[in-house]
A and B are shown apart, each in its own frame.
Chain A
Amino acid sequence: MSTPPRTAKDPRGFARVTVFGVLWSLALLALAVVAGHDALAYGKLISGTPWIDSALTSLDGTKPLFSWVVFAGLAVLVGLVLVYFALRPRPYLGAAVRAETGVFLLDRGLSRLAAAAAEDVDGVDAARASTSGRRVTVDVHGLSAERDSELEGRVRERVQSRLEPLEQPPQVRVRDQGRG
């Protein structure tokens, strides 16, 4: 019997910075079109004024206007957004399960597993769970009108036991919302 393969790197979400990468590559192609047009225009191979020449002529002698300040403010904001996306790491998608190879439970799966575990507890009518970071929040509808802390304890215990196979079991928070 051979050993399972080594664990791969954690599953990560989409790197949103690649959307900007596509934009930059399209911008390079647009610049290539401008440069190609103007190379032909400066070389007198096509008629018309080169676009670069027109831009330089219209800019010559201009003084800063108030409208430029508005655009400059926008440029600063856009620049900060770009720096944020450039430095933002790809989000983690799931938690590692104890195994010899790489097994990861995705956050949505973790929520559904926790909700199913909660619904198996005697006295729970319905349950819903959400996962955020290292915490699972389980909202249950019990059979009594008031909040039942004893029921919450039993649900917490059951959910924790179901999530025990995770390498770092998350913190479980249970809220009894009363009769649904």
Chain B
Amino acid sequence: MSRSVVALDRLVTFVVGLLLVAGGVLVIGWKYDLFGWLPSSVNSGPVKDITERGWWAWALGAAAMVLFLLGLRWLVAHLPGRSKVSELGLSGSGAEGRLDVNASGAVSAACAALQARHEVRSAKGSVRRDRGQLVIDIHATLEPRCDLTEVATAIDDTAAALTRSLERPDLYCRVRLDVGNRDRAKPARVH
């Protein structure tokens, strides 16, 4: 999900929250005569006059179209998986043709290289857009008795090789490390 969608969700939620608080306070004040400027009963006459104008039906029709399109666009923006990037453009693209690299394949290969290490139980990842950055996002599960320094060095090397192969200096990297259960340890291997 993009940053702008989350920002819009925050803004609208904040405004709706404030409106509910203000509306609630207004109704309580109205019931107990705390606000002298409020009428004693609802008079919907002026609003009804507006609904009887000739342009009202057209205005409602236009509003229906706009609300429908905005609502649908906003709903679709919440669909998961839209931040994932499957192909990355390479330098050298031009009018003669475009050079793309399969980002998922490259990251999967890097994950496989990490997973070949005995202290990494599993690793998977993708390239995604997150908070304004193009991020190599990897999730790895480690063995409970791993050495974090060694793992970090291995990740640095793997990430460097991946950036070199993707030829994209604008990439950022985030590797999230989890640690597996003791009872599901990877079987020992002899190399």
Instruction: Check B135–A26 contact: CB distance below 8 A.
Output: no
Instruction: Check A94–B152 contact: CB distance below 8 A.
Output: no
Query: How many residue pairs at the A-B interface have CB separations less than 8 Å?
Result: 287
Which of B45, B57, B58, B65 has the most chain A CB atoms closer than 10 A to its own CB?
Answer: B57
A11-26 residues at the B interface, CB under 8 angstroms: 11, 15, 17-18, 20-22, 24-26
Instruction: Check B176–A106 contact: CB distance below 8 A.
Output: yes
Contact with B along A79-111 (1 / 0, CB 8 A): 111110111000001100111111111101110
Task: Choose from A20, A65, A113 the contact partner of B179 (Cβ within 8 Å).
Answer: A113
Instruction: Check A101–B42 contact: CB distance below 8 A.
Output: no
Number of B residues near A (Cβ < 8 Å) is 87
Instruction: Check A106–B178 contact: CB distance below 8 A.
Output: yes
Task: Choose from A8, A36, A60 the contact partner of B172 (Cβ within 8 Å).
Answer: A8
B5 to A: closest C-beta gap in Å: 7
Which residue on A lies nearest to B47, using beta carbons?
A56
Number of A residues near B (Cβ < 8 Å) is 87
Bound complex: CA A50 to CA B78 (Å): 32
A70-78, A134-142, A149-157 - interface stretch: A70-78
Q: A20-B9, A82-B13, A116-B145 are in contact. Are A52 and B78 (CB under 8 A)?
A: no
Task: Choose from A52, A87, A101, A112 the contact partner of B181 (Cβ within 8 Å).
Answer: A112
B residues within 8 Å of A by Cβ?
Answer: 1, 5-6, 8-14, 16-28, 30-31, 40-45, 47-48, 51, 56-58, 60-61, 63-65, 67-68, 70-72, 74-75, 78, 130-131, 133, 135-137, 141-142, 144-146, 148-149, 151-153, 155-157, 159-164, 171-182
Listed from nearest, the 7 A-B pairs whose CB atoms lie closest are A79-B20, A82-B17, A21-B9, A28-B71, A116-B144, A76-B24, A79-B21
